[in-house]
Amino acid sequence: MNRRKSFAAALASDQIEHFILQDHTVAACTDRIARSFGIPLVRGGPITHNEIAKIARDPLLRKALQSTLIRGLQLELFFTYLRKALLRLAPEAANGDILLLFSALAQQCFINEYVYQMGDDEAQQVAKWHELIVERMADGNPIEPLVLAAVAGYLPLHSLPNPDRLLKQKWPPTIGELLTQQIREPLEEIRERNSIPAITPIADSTSLQVQRQYEQNPYPRWTKLPPVRRRVPKGMDVLIAGCGTGKHIFDVAESNPKARILAIDISMASLAYAKRKAREVRLANVEFAQADILELGTIGREFDHIEAVGVLHHLADPKAGWRVLLSLLRPNGTMHIGLYSQLARRAVVEARFIISREGYEPTSNGIRAMRRMIMRDDSRWKAITGFSDFYCMSGCRDLLFNVMEHRFAISDIAEFLKDHKLTFLGFQLSADVNERFQQQYQDRLLDLECWQAFELNNPSIFRFMYQFTVSKQPTAI
């Protein structure tokens, strides 16, 4: 397989980090950083000018930076140092490859929401160039592309005053892509909010806190269209409760292209992102609306299938929200649920305790400081740094700083299903996990007592959450 095909395969399979580390120059740099500095982040750059030149000439590395969130401590440290080295190089750099690389790295920093650590010297240089850009925008004078790309690597361009003025200047194509990502699309999302109706009030105090979090940090921030991971039960009327930024919508829409889908979320910022992404791929069968799950009983609608993945555990009373959703489900309807596992999230609970004890704030600086603490003791926190969410700002806030989080045991799920006469249809798990389960319990895939015993011996299998489907039994006449 040639390198370009390897890149496409890695990108499609979410293994882009492995592809990047196969590059000899990148591997040499990451090894040197690990040997020389370990985890400390704010030091002189251990990447030579010759290495920067080689990296800058690699179009596939640039494409990776532009197209997807790059994860892993090794690569985060490497790109943190590379950004600092490029910032120092920028005033003298006339090489077009350096502009291409800095623009691509700026796009990666926008994707991860500027989660990388920044030294005081970098902050001073960026502030200086930020002021220069603002002055030239006000005067109508041209701005050097490399200066714009450098600033975009540290803060989003749409945060500049009157950012649409930048769209009127002539730019190289790579800066045009940067402007689309950091100005055109965010401004489009702001305009989109006016087209999304609010179909319920939001009055619950916890709901208002959760709403505030996701307005500030819409989650998840994603770029490329995910592959369809499962087939959703057929149904003409589908509710996606807590759709967030819309990544989850595509499994449902691809499985039910003729269905009428209502996607609701408490955050207007998340909905605007979801609507823009849906329009990109021309999803025509999705209706977006702002709503609180606790108030959905007032909308006067019923559904054949309901999705509530990763949302109920952020309610003040998850079971109350679940009951509201059940009241909207037609007889014989199906529901797909995602809930956090108490057993699998022990490391998250420990981290949340330390965050509370040490007073880390759910701000950009607070999240960076907390991440620095964790990265300096990676051997202790591998269960945390193994989460993809650790590598972007909104993901890290959702993972470790959420204003409300409940966790469940399988026995809790079993009790709720029994009390509400729901039929368990199975967990969503990989084939190898199901095979391991069946080696111990044969064909008892629908036996929750067996799954509880299996989880006790394999506490990481529901690391992300329990995802399972249930059906509503018809009411007896």
440-455 confidence digits (pLDDT tens): 999 999 999 999 999 9
**% the chain with pLDDT above 90:** 81
Position 200 in a domain = no
223 and 85 part of one domain: no
More confident residue, 408 or 280: 408
Give burial (CB, 10 Å; 0-12/13-18/19+) of 4.
exposed
439 and 361 part of one domain: no
3-state secondary structure the chain: CCHHHHHHHHHHCCCHHHHHHCCHHHHHHHHHHHHHCCCCCCCCCCCCHHHHHHHHCCHHHHHHHHHCCCCCHHHHHHHHHHHHHHHHHCCCCCCHHHHHHHHHHHHHHHHCCCCCCCCHHHHHHHHHHHHHHHHHHHHCCCCCHHHHHHHHCCCCHHHCCCHHHHHHCCCCHHHHHHHHHHHHHHHHHHHHHHHCCECCCCCCHHHHHHHHHHHHCCCCCCCCCCCCCCCCCCCCEEEEECCCCCCCHHHHHHHCCCCEEEEEECCHHHHHHHHHHHHHCCCCCEEEEECCHHHHHHCCCCEEEEEEECCHHHCCCHHHHHHHHHHCEEEEEEEEEEECECCCCHHHHHHHHHHHHHCCCCCHHHHHHHHHHHHCCCCCCHHHHCCHHHHCHHHHHHHHCCCCCCCECHHHHHHHHHHCCEEEEEECCCHHHHHHHHHHHCCCCCCHHHHHHHHHHCCCCCCCCEEEEEEECCCCC
337 and 421 part of one domain: yes
Position 331 in a domain = yes
415 and 391 part of one domain: no
295 and 189 part of one domain: no
Strands 237-241 and 303-309: parallel
Is residue 243 a contact partner of residue 265, using CB atoms and an 8 Å limit? yes
393 and 420 part of one domain: no
300 and 396 part of one domain: no
pLDDT of 283 over the 60 cut: yes
Counting every residue written for the chain, the total comes to: 477
80 and 218 part of one domain: no
Select from 368, 375, 373, 369 the least CA-distant residue to 392. Answer: 368
Position 31 in a domain = yes
- Give Cβ neighbours of residue 127 (< 8 Å, ≥ 6 apart): none
Give burial (CB, 10 Å; 0-12/13-18/19+) of 314.
buried
22 and 123 part of one domain: yes
pLDDT of 196 over the 60 cut: yes
Round the average pLDDT of the chain to a whole number and report it.
92
Q: pLDDT per residue over 290-321, tens digit each? A: 999 999 999 999 999 999 999 999 999 999 99
pLDDT of 35 over the 90 cut: no
pLDDT of 135 over the 90 cut: yes
**Residue 231 confidence (pLDDT):** 65
pLDDT of 39 over the 60 cut: no
pLDDT of 456 over the 60 cut: yes
**Residue 121 confidence (pLDDT):** 94
Neighbours of 76 (CB within 10 A): 21
* pTM metric for this prediction: 0.94
**Residue 405 confidence (pLDDT):** 97
**What is the CATH classification number for the domain harbouring 222?**
3.40.50.150
Of 176, 195, 214, the residue that ends a domain is: 195
Predicted confidence band of residue 33 (pLDDT cuts 50, 70, 90):
confident
C-alpha to C-alpha distance for 87 and 327, rounded to whole angstroms: 56
The arithmetic mean of pLDDT across residues 3-12, rounded, is 88
Task: Print the domain residue range for 441.
Answer: 205-343+406-472
**Residue 89 confidence (pLDDT):** 81
241 and 309 part of one domain: yes
Of 145, 160, 195, the residue that ends a domain is: 195
Amino acid at position 78, single letter: F
Of 165, 195, 225, the residue that ends a domain is: 195
pLDDT of 154 over the 90 cut: yes
Select from 130, 135, 128, 124 the least CA-distant residue to 159. Answer: 130
**Residue 342 confidence (pLDDT):** 97
**Residue 221 confidence (pLDDT):** 86
Q: pLDDT per residue over 156-182, tens digit each? A: 999 999 999 999 989 999 999 999 999
Per the DSSP assignment, residues forming a β-bridge with 260 are 237
Q: Write the CA distances from 468 to 263, 275, 427, 471, integer angstroms.
A: 19, 26, 4, 10
Number of domains in the chain: 3
Position 15 in a domain = yes
Predicted confidence band of residue 64 (pLDDT cuts 50, 70, 90):
very high
Neighbours of 257 (CB within 10 A): 9
